[in-house]
Amino acid sequence: MKDQPKATHLTWHEGQVSRDQRYDNLGQRGGTLWMTGLSGSGKSTIAVALEQRLHALGRHAYRLDGDNIRMGLCSNLGFSAEDRSENIRRIGEVSKLFADAGLIVINSFISPYARQRTWVRELHEAAGLPFYEVFIHVPLAVAEARDPKGLYRKARAGEITHFTGIDDPFEAPVDPALELRTDVMSVEQSVDALIALLKKNNHFTA
Ligand SMILES: Nc1ncnc2c1ncn2[C@@H]1O[C@H](COP(=O)(O)OP(=O)(O)OP(=O)(O)O)[C@@H](O)[C@H]1O
Ligand SMILES: [Mg+2]
């Protein structure tokens, strides 16, 4: 992952409104919920339900989702190791900005490589921003049986290569902030657990 800017002679220009002042106006603290898991594990389904719940609670959240980002910000990237890495780097930087602005960032990316998730965590931690790795966990057989986009069928037929869980690895989180077993938990239960995580970490201040 690239850490250093290509350009030289850069000077950071400080603003006059602090992060805490932004958070005070919003009545919440920003942070990033990073959902990682196999295709079909339920990341996007849970993200959409969580966004709805937070909105109903009067909270400010924003979803960043795999295919949506690949249609815009990352439209020039594919699925090679290098492109996956650049994809996550850009999303990590955007998440950091949104969290700094005060949003609850709800991310749904397979993000199969532990080192890339660690990179995003460290990016947040270096900026003093909360980052929660959320493992959306189902056995591969369950995700494959769901196959909401028909991608596993295509991967098994060899029409898609480098597909996570089939011919590309998924490195499970070792110590996630939360693990949601979507084969035994309802979407509502997963959303409840995510809201509880945010409350426990004092994200809602007014
Ligand atoms: N308890 C559950 N939690 C989440 N999703 C569930 C649950 N039970 C069944 N599902 C179904 O599983 C599927 C999950 O698909 P979803 O698109 O959310 O996965 P994803 O992890 O975002 O996959 P991808 O990485 O391909 O975007 C949906 O069809 C959803 O309705
Ligand atoms: Mg999805």
pLDDT tens digit sequence for 71-110: 999 999 998 889 989 999 999 999 999 999 999 999 999 9
Q: Is 140 exposed, middle or buried (0-12, 13-18, 19+ CB in 10 A)?
A: middle
d(CA 129, CA 27): 16
pLDDT tens-place string over residues 128-187: 999 999 999 999 999 999 999 999 999 999 999 989 999 999 999 999 999 999 999 999
Nearest protein CA to atom 7 of ligand 1, as residue: 182
**Measured distance between the N- and C-terminal CA atoms of the chain, rounded to whole angstroms:** 38
Choose which residue among 45, 48, 51 to substitute to test ligand 1 binding: the one with the highest number of ligand atoms within 8 A of its C-beta: 45
pTM of the full predicted structure?
Answer: 0.96
Q: Please report which ligand is nearest the Cα atom of 163.
A: 1
